[in-house]
Amino acid sequence: KMFNWMVTRINATLETKQPRQYFIGVLDIAGFEIFDFNSFEQLCINFTNEKLQQFFNHHMFVLEQEEYKKEGIEWEFIDFGMDLQACIDLIEKPMGIMSILEEECMFPKATDMTFKAKLYDNHLGKSNNFQKPRNIKGKQEAHFSLIHYAGTVDYNILGWLEKNKDPLNETVVGLYQKSSLKLMATLFSTYASADAHASLGKGKGGKKKGSSFQTVSALHRENLNKLMTNLRTTHPHFVRCIIPNERKAPGVMDNPLVMHQLRCNGVLEGIRICRKGFPNRILYGDFRQRYRILNPTAIPEGQFIDSRKGAEKLLGSLDIDHNQYKFGHTKVFFKAGLLGLLEEMRDERLSRIITRIQAQARGQLMRIEFKKIVERRDALLVIQWNIRAFMGVKNWPWMKLYFKIKPLLKSAETEKEMATMKEEFARIKEALEKSEARRKELEEKMVSLLQEKNDLQLQVQAEQDNLNDAEERCDQLIKNKIQLEAKVKEMTERLEDEEEMNAELTAKKRKLEDECSELKRDIDDLELTLAKVEKEKHATENKVKNLTEEMAGLDEIIAKLTKEKKALQEAHQQALDDLQAEEDKVNTLTKSKVKLEQQVDDLEGSLEQEKKVRMDLERAKRKLEGDLKLTQESIMDLENDKLQLEEKIKKKEFDINQQNSKIEDEQALALQLQKKLKENQARIEELEEELEAERTARAKVEKLRSDLSRELEEISERLEEAGGATSVQIEMNKKREAEFQKMRRDLEEATLQHEATAAALRKKHADSVAELSEQIDNLQRVKQKLEKEKSEFKLELDDVTSNMEQIIKAK
């Protein structure tokens, strides 16, 4: 409660109202646990590790090899022996360990030992991962063993039912809800008691009695399934933590322990597949753009070549091992180490190119500097020579005369210069007008080119948007593909589970039908026996009646003889003879009594046989109830019926014991034989009532079986609505599997088509970008040239303007 409240508060604090498209999740779980005493908590932790390890194996090994198959790489599928599905099914599937544990939690009379017995009945000898442990002296007792990927773990099941129910006292919850601490009251405000759940379930219908509360194992499986769904729709990265030693000692490496962890975690298999497989792969367009610098002549300029052919030519022209790479449909695959070698070759090539550019730039700069130095030296020599010459002729008389006459010659030269300047001005003005017209023309052309450039940029932006849309659609299709594959796998597993359950239920149904037919035959035999007993009862009653009459007559004769003995002494001998005859009759009656007692014993034997038949019926009924417990809707009803029948049996057995005691007491009394026979008759009537009750119970069982069959049909219809599959029509399974395979093939073809479309769009976009880049570069060069001409014209115009100003000033 506290942990969930804390998580909710943290999420509410970090929550933003901005839309989110991506997320980063970090999953940190406990490692595999093998202790001397392993209980329910260790089973949950180890089951989680099994699921995550299976996901790791599927992501690293199966998907990697499926990628090779999809890209058309010649690859022999390698089975790394890392399939953990058998152990996972043993724990989570129907009639698995957790399913049986949840089923036992539903029954009030269930114990840990009944849970153990059911585990042994369902899995011992049937599953290779389930074994009977060897209890060693000095260690904790273990009840069963599971073979996990990390080793065999012995589990102790004491207290599992209580841990799975996680009961909480209702009175304590009420105190918490009424607590003065707001936090305590808030934590338990949403708690609903088991009675409330039960009443809610009864209000909605009696079929949901088994789901009135959620067990710890069911909640754990639900959260784990949600986690696995999240992981399948993301791009996971795995971090493995290795324990160097179990003593927590620094600098100590337990090599067997480390190797065991690496082997169990799949790291060694990952290294193995990296050595044998192609861990690095690049799209053809990206490879061509990045590594074209290694040999530019391999791909001719200005000629369109498919990205795959360009990559093949480029790799074929390089001095590398050509067995270290393979070409797929959309990517080029490299073995471990080759891509690093290509990166080193590219870095070396870039280093040489940059070094050459730097050398050329430095050489050009030094040549410009050297030219300036030479020009300065030549100018210095010229100036020195002129100064020396001027100093030599400065005091020459003719030079003095030249200095005096030269100012007088400026007027004539000025007129000539004015005429020359006017001509030059007219020429410059004409050139200016031409340059202005040319400038306007170039400006108009530049405006049109800028418009074309903007149009091309808009077109590029539109193409980029289309490409982004295509990539988003491709990513969405990939996500949909993953989700559909997960759904197909889930539906396939559900279909297999339902088929197994259907087969089991069909077999159990046939078995129950056979048992019902046997019970029907037993009931017919019992009816025949009862009819026979009824006949014998009537015959015995007639015999008893005759004997009673004879005994009454005998009493009369004895009284008469007694009187005659007193009166007639002379008939003494005749009386003695008559007495002897009567004694013979008495002996005959005694024999009849013994015979009747023997018949009573036979009736008791029939009663015992009937009791045995009833016990057989009860055992068959309990077996039927045990088979029907798979459907949780009828569990509680059958349990109540079972308890009522057991009470009835106990009551009947008590009555039978009382009757037996009465029979034993009354066997010695010949005069109460008729009463005993009447009690037997009443007992027979009770047995007939019990037989009728058994018939009613059998009809109820048949009704329950029909209800279960109807519910199975409803489940089959729901399965048809959910996944297009049915668990009843076994002949349609192949058709559904074919449809699943067709759907998967269509999905793969659509994915390949979209990937090819995306690659074509990327290639088209790259070509358009390259072409537009060249056009932009040409426009930039034209613009720079025009700006250079413009600056030159401007300089010329400035020179002409300055000359004009000087001429005006000179005038």
In tens, the pLDDT along 513-527 reads: 777 777 778 777 777
Give me the architecture of the 284-387 domain, per CATH. Answer: Up-down Bundle (1.20)
**What are 131's strand-pairing partners?**
145
Half-sphere exposure of 679 (CA within 13 A, CB side): 20
- Look at residue 626 in the predicted model and tell me its pLDDT: 59
88-118: b or e for each residue (b if 16 or more CB lie within 10 Å)?
Answer: bbbbbbebbbbbbbbbbbbeeeeebeebbeb
* pLDDT at 120 exceeding the cut of 80: yes
* pLDDT at 395 exceeding the cut of 50: yes
- Look at residue 114 in the predicted model and tell me its pLDDT: 92
Name the pLDDT band for 212 (thresholds 50, 70, 90): very low
Instruction: Quote the CA–CA distance of 194 and 210 in Å, as a whole number.
Output: 12
On average, the pLDDT of the chain sits at: 77
Select from 3.40.50.1820, 1.20.58.530, 3.90.70.10, 1.10.3720.10 the CATH code of 1-191+213-238. Answer: 1.20.58.530
**What are 661's strand-pairing partners?**
none
Q: What are the distances in angstroms from CA 777 to CA 453, 511, 771? A: 11, 87, 10
Instruction: Quote the CA–CA distance of 249 and 72 in Å, as a whole number.
Output: 50
In tens, the pLDDT along 527-559 reads: 787 777 778 777 777 776 776 677 677 667 766
Q: Where are the alpha helices (DSSP H) in 292-333?
A: 307-316
In tens, the pLDDT along 737-747 reads: 666 667 667 66
- Look at residue 641 in the predicted model and tell me its pLDDT: 62
Rounded percentage of the chain residues whose pLDDT exceeds 90:
13
* pLDDT at 638 exceeding the cut of 60: no
* pLDDT at 31 exceeding the cut of 90: no
- Look at residue 522 in the predicted model and tell me its pLDDT: 74
More confident call, 4 vs 410: 4
Average pLDDT over residues 588-593: 66
Q: What amino acid occupies position 604?
A: E
Name the pLDDT band for 47 (thresholds 50, 70, 90): very high
* pLDDT at 29 exceeding the cut of 60: yes
